[in-house]
């Protein structure tokens, strides 16, 4: 029983970190128009893509670590 609870907490923490990365990614997206004006849009797009993939990976890993009830 304790193992299930530890896995659930670990999975929840991974999903929370992944969602936090997505929020930070939205902040980078907010500054994208300014980066286009100064000519650094490629770097910002790269950061956006890397953070989005990292967040998605953490959410998926966290979801698969959470135990699910089977009907």
Which of 69, 68, 66 is CA-nearest to residue 14? 66
The 3-state secondary structure of 3-71, one letter per residue:
HHHHHHHHHHHHHHHHHHHHHHHHHHHHCHHHHHHHCCHHHHHHHHHHHHHHHHHHHHHHHHHCCCCCC
Per-residue pLDDT at 71 = 41
Q: What angle do CA 67, 26, 44 make, to 5 degrees?
A: 120
Confidence check: pLDDT of 38 > 90: no
For residue 70, is it within any domain?
A: no
Per-residue pLDDT at 69 = 58
Domain boundaries, position 32: 12-65
pTM: 0.79
Confidence check: pLDDT of 18 > 80: yes
For residue 1, is it within any domain?
A: no
Count of domains for the chain: 1
């Amino acid at each position: 029983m304790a193992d299930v609870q530890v896995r659930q907490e670990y999975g929840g923490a991974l999903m929370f970190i992944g969602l936090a990365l997505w929020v930070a990614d939205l902040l980078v997206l907010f500054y994208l128009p300014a980066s286009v004006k100064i000519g650094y849009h490629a770097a910002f797009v790269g950061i956006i893509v890397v953070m989005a993939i990292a967040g998605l990976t953490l959410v998926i890993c966290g979801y698969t670590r959470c135990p699910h009830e089977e009907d």
